[in-house]
Amino acid sequence: MAYVEGQTIHDADSHIMELPGTIHRYIDPKHRAAFVEKTGRKDVLPEWFAKASDRHDDPEFRAGAEANILLRKNYEALGAFRADDRPATLDYLGFASQLVFTTACLSNWGLEQMGEVELAIEAARAHNRMMTEFCSVDRRLLATGYVPLIDRQRAPQIAREAIELGAKGLVVPSRHPPGFSPSHRELDPLWAVAEEAGLPILFHVGGEEKMAKDYLENGLPYVKDFHGGDENFTSLTFMAIPLSVWQTLSALVIDGVFDRFPRLKFGAIELGASWLPSLMKFLDSGCAAFGREERLQRLSGKPSEILRRQLRVTPYPHEDVAWIMENSGQDMVLFSSDYPHVEGGRNPLKRFNDSLAGVSDAGRRAFYRDNFIDLMGKGLDPSLHDLPSLQAA
């Protein structure tokens, strides 16, 4: 029996868990040595990861895949790194589709911040080849392609390449590129490519500017994250997650990008959503305060109205979704599982259903189905809008 039954649910956030060295197979050979030198990521499979991979060949372990579909996480999860297993994962979960992101490449290895323009572009192209190949095994898997903004002239071409490969959404970093704003007019050809293709522009956690490490120097021992290391989020560094996307969205609205491309949808994925009502209010307030600016006078409406028209976001399962809907709009929020990451929890449907208590049936349908269809546009084939059993009904 599938985790979801009798209801169409689209998953706006899932991941592959690349084994170490996976990306090297997709990087042009002439760039591999430089990639290893700059990132420190060698083309090796350490013993622990080799054991994790071998475990998926164990018949007894595989026999428990369906019963443990949301209990096994990261490298133990079915379909985490083997593409051929991922269709069964979707069958067991019961989702109508999954938007699929990388795990290892979320920050494009930091190459853009290093100023390594050529390597950043090659790594993005390698990522796009990797993601589209993985997702090609099942049309319910919606691959995301990454477009670095560091080279404004080549960004549209990278986007076209990703779309030709089969990407259904284009990821850009939520932090600004080194030296200029993401609202720069020379990026308009990129937004035009996405709008013409009917595909969304996506921001995902990992592409933001992290909290300054000075805040961690508090005279106390370092706090471990829930993975037991220092590299992920803690209660303090979690607070910086939406700051970059807040600034980027503000620039894109105020500088007119949303209005110049009114059919282009944007998605903020795994960045939380409790900040959304405040951003909408703060933007409206700022535009009222500085209303004499010519660029503000050209806007098609209040910033909150523009965001409501074109932006969709995924709350975390621990957030109050009903409150977010009430204060921003029920057409702006999406369900996500974060499969197979630990952060998604063992029963995301229950947590979101509890959070949606008191929300109308139309609001719940919007959260689980309609808003995702709206975000994905042509990236989601109409035949996938509903589960086959519900289409027949």
251-305 pLDDT, tens per residue?
Answer: 999 999 999 999 999 999 999 999 999 999 999 999 999 999 999 999 999 999 9
Residue 230, pLDDT score = 57
CATH (domain of 142): 3.20.20.140
Q: What does pTM read for this prediction?
A: 0.95
Q: How far is CA 328 from the centre of its chain?
A: 20
**Number of domains within the chain:** 1
Is the residue at 34 inside a domain? yes
Is the residue at 221 inside a domain? no
Beta-strand runs (E) in 26-157: 97-101, 141-146
Q: How far is CA 111 from the centre of its chain?
A: 19
243 exposed, middle or buried (CB, 10 Å; 0-12, 13-18, 19+)? middle
Nearest CA to 303 out of 276, 272, 323, 330 is that of 276
Segment 317-359, tens digit of pLDDT = 999 999 999 999 999 999 999 999 998 999 999 999 999 999 9
Is the residue at 229 inside a domain? no
Query: The tokens of 228 are what?
Result: 């037991």
Is the residue at 285 inside a domain? yes
Is the residue at 89 inside a domain? yes
Q: CA separation (Å) from 223 to 215, 228, 229, 238?
A: 12, 9, 9, 12
Is the residue at 99 inside a domain? yes
CA distance 319 to 374: 22
Segment 62-114, tens digit of pLDDT = 999 999 999 999 999 999 999 999 999 999 999 999 999 999 999 999 999 99
Is the residue at 342 inside a domain? yes
Q: Give the structural domain span for 57.
A: 10-205+241-392
- Where residue 232 falls among pLDDT bands split at 50, 70, 90? low
Q: Please list the helix, strand and coil fractions of the chain in percent, rounded to the nearest 5, in that order.
A: 50, 10, 45
Is the residue at 233 inside a domain? no
How high does pLDDT run on average in the chain?
A: 95
Q: What is the mean pLDDT of residues 231-243?
A: 83
- Where residue 211 falls among pLDDT bands split at 50, 70, 90? confident
Angle at which helices 348-355 and 321-328 cross, to 10°? 50
